[in-house]
Amino acid sequence: MDQLDTGKRNARVLAFCQALFICAISVDLTLTGITGYQLAPDKILATLPFALITVGAAVVTVFAAFVMERLGRRLGFALGALCGGAGGLVSVWSIVHGDFWLFCLGTAGVGAFQGFAQFYAIAAADSVHADYKSRAISTVLAGGVIAAVIGPLLASRAKDLFFDTAFAGAYLLVAVLAMLSAIGLLLFYRDIGMIDAQKTGDILPARPLREIARQPIFVAGVATTMVASAAMMFVMTASPLAAVACGFSIEDGASVIQWHLFGMFAPSFFAGRLVARFGVIRVFSTGIALMAACVVIATSSTALPAFHLALLALGIGWNMLIVCGTTLLSRSYRASERGKTQALSGLLGNLAATFSTLSAGAALQGLGWSTLNLLILPMLAVCLLLVLRWKGANRATLGEGIA
């Protein structure tokens, strides 16, 4: 098997691991806000365990990038999955014993899992030729489609399946799924270098990080992934609590997340091909429009179908922006610059998501569901301006293949 075939196989392995990761993380996304509310000594802390998922990811991001640069992605990804397994087990113990702060530690462990797993898509992009990058990214993201459907369902079904304490069984499932991911990575994933670097003999020296970060293509890519993550986490974190506050059940809240996760990953079957055919700008614009549609729907009605439709639009928009942003980022660095560039972009994305998650509970309580949704519109506007700046600066050199 040559290195290109290995790269394509790696994308399929990472798609499988993405499915396990999304299935595990969807349990946390569905139940952690509610579990935190039940365990919290002060209800204002209810969303803290949820926020610590993104905090854990942000803290681990830079560490994860350099660990994988030094030890290889196979061992790095497996280490991240083991962190998720440990976080799931700690969560089970804390729920059984009613320990809120230990539960926070468990969700932070799952966040560490996310800190490594967020590199699945760009790892796939690095191991294939330039004209296949967006498809490789989509292949990995497509692994979350089935998980998006069954994950929230498993969360609601498994919450009372084991032990005598509500939700403990669901977090045991998180641990099992993370461990299966670690096993799959160790058995089937293979470390290879960047295909384009091997083809062209990338012997150019690494540039300073500040020089890389000043490139319009890097700024556009980071802005796109940051805004996609921040807007999505801001609305998604609050949505189950908002649904319950509107009189709907926990199962209804789970169904809202289910529709959202389906929207996040179902477009992966065709998003990469859309980028290849129509270019980044058109797919990016569609993603922005869908996120704006989420705001319109959410501010128009608080009926359960409106929650479903708004979160579905948010998820599809997120997918398109992530594919576009990751494609741009993967073209902004040389092989010798990969570790530090990915560390910076991952850190910025996680910091944006962390701030959004931490502020979502307070925004929902202080401003309400409709106003909370309106707050993502300025984020979308800034992102649009930065991508248009990249388009103008690179029109002559990048051509219509990705622009």
CATH number at residue 221: 1.20.1250.20
The total of other beta-carbon atoms located within 10 Å of residue 200's CB is 12
Q: What integer pLDDT is reported at residue 396 of this predicted model? A: 47
pLDDT at 402 over 80: no
Q: What integer pLDDT is reported at residue 187 of this predicted model? A: 95
Amino acid at 360: A
pLDDT at 400 over 50: no
The total of other beta-carbon atoms located within 10 Å of residue 5's CB is 9
Into how many domains does the chain fold?
1
Lowest pLDDT segment from 16-20, 202-206, 283-287, 305-309: 202-206
Q: What integer pLDDT is reported at residue 398 of this predicted model? A: 43
Query: Mean per-residue pLDDT for 30-42?
Result: 85
Q: What integer pLDDT is reported at residue 194 of this predicted model? A: 63
Q: What is the domain range of residue 346?
A: 3-197+206-398
Q: What integer pLDDT is reported at residue 195 of this predicted model? A: 57
- Encoding tokens for residue 110? 């799952």
Q: What integer pLDDT is reported at residue 2 of this predicted model? A: 58
DSSP 8-class letter at 128:
S
Q: State how far the Cα of 188 lies from the Cα of 265, in Å rounded to an integer.
A: 23
Q: Tell me the chain's radius of gyration from C-alpha atoms.
A: 20
Q: What is the pLDDT of residues 122-177, one digit of tens each?
A: 888 887 777 777 778 778 877 777 776 777 677 767 766 766 787 888 899 999 99
The residue behind tokens 């490594």 is 116
The total of other beta-carbon atoms located within 10 Å of residue 277's CB is 11
User: Would you place residue 399 in the very low, low, confident or very high pLDDT band (cuts 50, 70, 90)?
Assistant: very low
Q: What is the pLDDT of residues 84-107, one digit of tens each?
A: 999 999 999 999 999 999 999 999
Q: What is the pLDDT of residues 254-298, one digit of tens each?
A: 788 878 878 887 887 787 788 888 888 999 999 999 999 999 999
pLDDT at 202 over 70: no
Query: Mean per-residue pLDDT for 383-387?
Result: 94
Q: What integer pLDDT is reported at residue 3 of this predicted model? A: 62
DSSP 8-class letter at 269:
G
Residue-averaged pLDDT of the chain: 85
**Residue 42: inside a domain:** yes
Q: State how far the Cα of 137 lies from the Cα of 142, in Å rounded to an integer.
A: 9
Q: What is the pLDDT of residues 297-330, one digit of tens each?
A: 999 999 999 999 999 999 999 999 998 998 899 8
**Residue 403: inside a domain:** no
Q: What integer pLDDT is reported at residue 325 of this predicted model? A: 93
Q: State how far the Cα of 113 lies from the Cα of 91, in Å rounded to an integer.
A: 14
Q: What integer pLDDT is reported at residue 112 of this predicted model? A: 95
CA–chain centroid gap for 402, Å, is: 23
